Amino acid sequence: MNEEVVLKVKGDTNPNKLGGALVKYLKEGHKVVQITGMGPHAVNQMVKGIIVGRTYLSAEAMDLEAVPGFLTRKEDGREVTLIVYRVSLKRPN
């Protein structure tokens, strides 16, 4: 099984579907789901999706851990910076 899944988020991404996808991939055994987006609307949907995913898991006494960061890449000959969240199941204390 692939250890990591990458999901690209846009400003019109449905946060309920994103939260469901996060939970689905993590429960299937993927260690990390990386979500990327560019711009304030995409980042807003990313955060909402993480919140929704946490809500879905709360009924099972599980939680998510989300680590934010930046990713810079070349696109059409110019550098663009994306916001990245690496999301995984939170380990119990």
Alpha helices in 7-66 (DSSP H): 15-27, 40-58
Residue 28 sits in a domain of what CATH number? 3.30.110.20
Residue 4: pLDDT band by 50, 70, 90 thresholds? confident
Backbone angles phi, psi at 67, to 5 degrees: -110, 115
Tokens encoding 57: 């898991």
C-alpha 18: how far from its chain's center? 8
pLDDT of amino acid 56: 95
Backbone φ and ψ for 46, nearest 5 degrees, come out as -60, -50
How does pLDDT run across 22-43, given as a tens digit for each residue? 999 999 999 999 999 999 999 9
For residue 31, what pLDDT is reported? 94
If one counts the domains in the chain, the total is 1
The residue segments making up the domain with residue 26 are 4-89
Residue 1 confidence class, pLDDT cut points 50, 70, 90: low
Element containing residue 23 per DSSP (H, E) = helix 15-27
Share of the chain above pLDDT 90, in %: 86
